[in-house]
Amino acid sequence: MQTEEAKQKIKNSVGRAALVVFSILLQIGWIALLSLHIFRYDAALYALSVLVGWIVALRIYGMHMNAAYRFSWMILILAFPILGLSLYLFFGSQLSNMMMRKRFAAVNMELDDHLEQEPAVMERLRQQDKGIANQAYYTQRSGGYPVYGNTDVQFYGDTVAALEDLKAELRKAEKFIFMEYHAIEDSVAWRGIEDILIEKAAAGVDVRVFYDDMGSIGFLSKPFTKRLQAEGMQCRVFNPVQPVVHVFMNNRDHRKITVIDGKVGFTGGYNLADEYFNLTHPYGQWKDTGIKLTGDAVHSLTVIFFEMWNATQKEPDDPTPFLPQSDYQAREQGYVQPYADSPLRKESVGENVYQNLIKNAKDYVYITTPYLIIDDEMQRELTLAARRGVDVRIITPGIPDKKMVFKVTRSYYARLAAYGVRIFEYTPGFMHAKQFVCDDEVAAVGTINLDFRSLYLHFENGCWFYGCKAVQDVKADFDATFPVCTEVTSKYSVKGNLALRGWQLILRLFSPLM
């Protein structure tokens, strides 16, 4: 039960969010009215805007970016030149976040020196399975993230168990605690964590908390940051939401990371809000998953944390003191590769990790995602795998958190089902987990949804692992989840009526911009 103080904090944040939304809609409306005025009363200026629109559209067509994302912007600009160009300038153009690109590039240049692949680990993996090694090699070469041995992975199919283990490890912290989350709610789950953080900060542990303003805007108010700082912690907010059209607003920090003393790390799909641990039930039973890493691979999680932390301050911190040599001896002989994705880099590492898993699947590939809004290339990989005889299954929510997005998600079922992909909806409630498992060999768990926002616009992270018991645990989690799902494959294998299909096509046309 939330206290009156907690309710008031949420109320204040929701009011700020409403003000921001109203202000942005007002600005977009003003641009729309301006374009209408020019269209009616200044033919020469409108003709010029059409010409500029065609030039920009051709420029977008020639850019190295996702095809569906390109065409959505091109259609919007050509149909509504002034409005489309204005929105593209603020939300779509690479020029709009040029300063942030430079800042992140400088930070990553420094951090890349702290990510070195141990040749013996990669060679050992290559000797075991060259195809699997090639997947790890891609992520190491394109993203810079090494594959590690000497790491144990614990999988959590139940976020309540994950939360209890997180708190147990926080109590053991001696040097530092780093936490980076898309959403934090100032309520029951977080207060249990905060009590531990206060105790540790008082004992001299370096505690740092980093959260995304958009993700937490319905859960927190500004005094939250000051409260943590008053308790001896460092707390920062990523990309504060402002009541003006902001050039960097479209890029959010969607990562979920905790690092403790450089020895233990947590990540997965869950944020630090009550609904993720089924303390509240806004969308039925909430299903989410996560992992705990112990050993060498925690090194990468620490570096990933410092990417966002250092990019939000003028003088970046040196991560070296927080990257100790591990004396841990892992129980297993598997391979673990934490990785991150950024909208400011040309390479879509998160998407390509998923596609490599699908391409190399031999027997099965099982997937959970809260949103299924994918381009033709991802659809092709999924349907091609199914046509090769691979058992391809996707679990999506039974109760959605965003009804319009859920309509778009369902619009993709028909084509996938027609080619043999099996679609399941999680009947008890909302499926928020983002995970893949293939052939009892390899799995990926993290923050990356199968939608355009996660794959191209957000800062994300995940973890790929092979030859660990955790792979079997992920598979067992799927086996336990399928019986409580409703398979809708046959329902969507049959084409719907013409009006419904037309509406779905319109939704999908602009789905990359949602």
* Per-residue model confidence (pLDDT) at position 222: 75
User: Per mean pLDDT, which range of 1-15, 70-84, 332-346 is the poorest?
Assistant: 1-15
Query: What is the structure's pLDDT at 94?
Result: 61
Instruction: State yes or no: pLDDT of 478 exceeds 70.
Output: yes
Q: What pLDDT is stored for residue 239 in this prediction?
A: 82
The residue-averaged pLDDT of 372-377 equals 92
Cα–Cα distance measured from residue 493 to residue 415, given in angstroms and rounded to the nearest whole number: 8
pLDDT grade for 2, boundaries at 50, 70 and 90: very low
Interval 114-153: pLDDT, tens: 999 999 999 999 999 999 999 999 999 999 999 999 999 9
Helix ranges restricted to H, 375-452? 376-387, 403-411, 413-418, 452
Q: Where are the beta strands (DSSP E) in 372-511?
A: 391-397, 422-426, 429-431, 435-438, 442-446, 460-466, 485-487
Cα→Cα distances 377→146, 228, 238, 373, Å: 27, 45, 32, 12
Task: Let me know how many helices (H) and strands (E) the chain has, helices first.
Answer: 20, 17
Rounded CA-CA distance 369/354 in Å is 12
3-state DSSP assignment of residue 148 = strand
On the question of pLDDT at 202 being above 90, the answer is yes
Asked if the model's pLDDT at residue 476 lies above 60, the reply is yes
Q: How confident is the model at residue 436 (pLDDT cuts 50, 70, 90)?
A: very high
How deeply is 493 buried, as exposed, middle or buried, from its count of CB atoms within 10 A (0-12, 13-18, 19+)? Answer: middle
In the block, tokens 């942005």 appear at: 24
On the question of pLDDT at 6 being above 60, the answer is: no
pLDDT of residue 83: 74
Euclidean distance between CA atoms 308 and 300, whole angstroms = 13
Query: Which range among 36-50, 242-256, 428-442, 496-510 shows the weakest confidence by mean pLDDT?
Result: 496-510
pLDDT at residue 7 in the model: 39
Query: What mean pLDDT comes out for the span 473-491?
Result: 97
At residue 319, does pLDDT exceed 50? Answer: yes
pLDDT confidence of residue 82: 73
CA 341 from centre of chain: 8
253-268, pLDDT tens digit by residue? 999 999 999 999 999 9
At residue 474, what is the residue type?
V
Model pLDDT for residues 59-105, shown as the tens digit of each residue:
877 777 667 777 778 888 887 777 777 777 766 666 556 778 888 88
Task: Answer whether residue 206 shows pLDDT above 50.
Answer: yes
d(CA 127, CA 333): 14
Give CA–CA dist 406/427, Å, rounded: 14
Greater model confidence, 33 or 461:
461
What are the structure tokens assigned to 185, written together?
Answer: 């709610």
By the 8 A CB rule, do 340 and 104 touch? no
Predicted local confidence at residue 504, as pLDDT: 63
| Contact indicator for 434, 323 with CB cutoff of 8 Å | no
The predicted-structure confidence for 143-191, as pLDDT tens digits, reads as follows 999 999 999 999 999 999 999 999 999 999 999 999 999 999 999 999 9
User: Which residues share a beta bridge with 286?
Assistant: 430
Higher-confidence residue of 106 and 272: namely 272
Mean pLDDT over residues 19-29, rounded? 62
**pLDDT value for 240:** 80
pLDDT at site 404: 86
Q: What is the pLDDT of residue 10?
A: 46
- Give the burial class of 79: count Cβ atoms within 10 A of its Cβ; 0-12 exposed, 13-18 middle, 19 or more buried: exposed
Q: pLDDT class for 370, splitting at 50, 70, 90? A: very high
**Cβ atoms of 162 and 191 closer than 8 Å:** no
